[in-house]
Structures are given as structure tokens and as C-alpha cells.
Amino acid sequence: MTAPTHDPLTLSLSVNGETHDVRVPARKLLSDVLRDDLGLTGTHVGCEHGVCGACTVLIDGRPARACLTFAAQMEGHEVTTVEATGRPDALSALQQALHEEHGLQCGFCTPGIVVTFEHYLRENPDPTAEEVRDVLSGNLCRCTGYQNIVAAVLKAAARMRGEAA
């Protein structure tokens, strides 16, 4: 068996609107580069086989699994992580609704859910509960039983449409 190539590549990555130059091995996952090399630890790694959804980021505005993507594939693309969505003292409408509706417990799956629905609600401003459940099925949550997450997404959607909720 031949040893894999470890020679690092120099990559220019556009993440959350900023350009970062990193030197990483070609095989290094986007999730690991975001976390280890860029310090963006909000992207969580839950399974490394694309099932749990905790590592969901936006690639060119569309949700994708950072654990199934090599950082080296991301040159020329725009990556958006949870850190671009609100801060603890300035939550987005969706984050605020998750807080109010108790839509998270351990919080490990939450960044992936936030990223997924920030995108979804932009394209689908008025979803039904069933549609929210369908989309949410791409993100595993072991704590909540999902009911409060669905309520939070619907509440955020209503607020984003300008309705009282």
C-alpha cells in the first residue's frame, strides 16, 4: 500500500464573504478545514457520512454536507456557515424563534438546522408544518422530538413575512 500524498495544497477559500488562504492536504474535509484551520467551530461533525446533517453549510447558497466535501473542491465557490447568521446578542428571526419555542436542547444539531432553514425560508416563505417536517428530515435531532423545531420554523416564517407571531 502506498502512503497517501500529504503535500499540502494552497487554497483560497471564500467563507462568509471573506477570503482565506489556507495550506491543507488535498484529502482534508471542508468540515475539518472550517473548524481547524478557520476556527469556525459552529459547523459540527456528527457522523462523517452525510446522514445527521449537523455539518450542513451553504455552498453557493445551497445546503450541502461539509463532511462529504473536500475543502479543495471549494475554490471558486462561496461557503456560508452558521457564524454568518446572527450572533448571541443579535439572533436571526429563526434563531430567536428556536430560543422562544425551545427548539433545541443539547444544541449540537442546531447549527445544521439553522443553516438549512435560513435557506429554505428564503425560497419558501410560507411552508406548512408537513413541508417543514419533510425538509427537517435531513437533520437528526436526538433531544427534542422535533415538534418544537417545527413550531419555531413556522413562527420564524410568519415573522419574516411580517405577520405577528
Partner 1 sequence: MSGDFTEIGRALPRKEDRRLVSGRGRYLDDLAFPGALHVSFVRSPHAHARILDIDSAEAAEMPGVVGIFTGRDLDQMTTRLRLAPPIEGLQPTELTTLPIDKVRFHGDPVVCVVATDRYLAEDAAECVSVEYDQLPAVTSITEAFAPDAALVDDSLTSNMVSHQSLCVGDPAARRAEAHRVVEARFSLHRHTHVPLETRGCVADWDDGRAHLNMHIGNQVPHPLRSQLAARLGLSESQVTVMSPDVGGAFGQKIALYREELTVAALSRHLRRPVRWREDRMENLMSAAHAREYECRTRASVSETGRILGLELEIDEDFGGYCFYPANYMARVIALIMTGPYRIQDYAYEVRVALTNKCGAGPMRAPMAITSWVMEGTIDAIARDLGLDPVEVRRINALGPEDLPYKMPTGELLEDVSPRETLEIAVDVIDVAAFRARQAQARAEGRYLGLGLCTVIESTTYGSEFYKSAGIPGSGHESAWVRIEPSGAVNASVGLMGTGQGYESPLSQAVAEGLGVRSEDVTVHMGNTDIAPYGMGSRGGRGATAGGGTLYLCALKARERVLAIAASMLDLNDAGGLRMRAGQIERMIGDDWQGTGLALVDIARRAYLDPLALPEGIAPGLDFSHSYDPPAMTYSNSTHACEVEVDPQTGAITIDRYLVAEDSGTVLNPIVVRGQQQGAIAMGLSGALLEQVIYDGTGQNLSATLADYLVASPNELPKFEILHHNTPNRRTPAGIKGMAEGGVMGAIGVLANAVSDALAPRGVTIERLPLTPQSIRALLREAAPSSTKRTQP
Q: What are the residues binding partner 1 (CB under 8 A)? A: 1, 3-4, 6, 25, 27-28, 35, 39-49, 51-52, 54, 81-83, 85-89, 91, 95, 98-100, 102, 104-111, 114, 132-134, 136-137, 140-150
CB-based contact 150:129 (threshold 8 Å): yes
Cβ at position 36, least distance to partner 1 in Å? 9
> Of the candidates 158, 102, 90, 86, which has an alpha carbon nearest to the alpha carbon of residue 126?
158
Residue (42 or 59) nearer to partner 1, CB: 42
Closest distance between partner 1 and the C-beta of residue 26, in Å?
11
* Identity of the residue, 13 or 149, whose beta carbon is nearer to partner 1 in the bound complex: 149
- Let me know if 118 is exposed, middle or buried by CB neighbors in 10 A (0-12, 13-18, 19+): buried
Contact 21, 32 (CB under 8 A): no
Query: Quick one: which of 72, 70, 45, 75 has its CA closest to 60?
Result: 75
CA angle 24, 27, 29 (to 5 degrees): 80
Work out how close the CB of 113 gets to partner 1 at its nearest, in angstroms, rounded to a whole number. 9
Query: Which is nearer to partner 1, 77 or 133 (by Cβ)?
Result: 133
Smallest distance, Å, CB 54 to partner 1?
Answer: 6
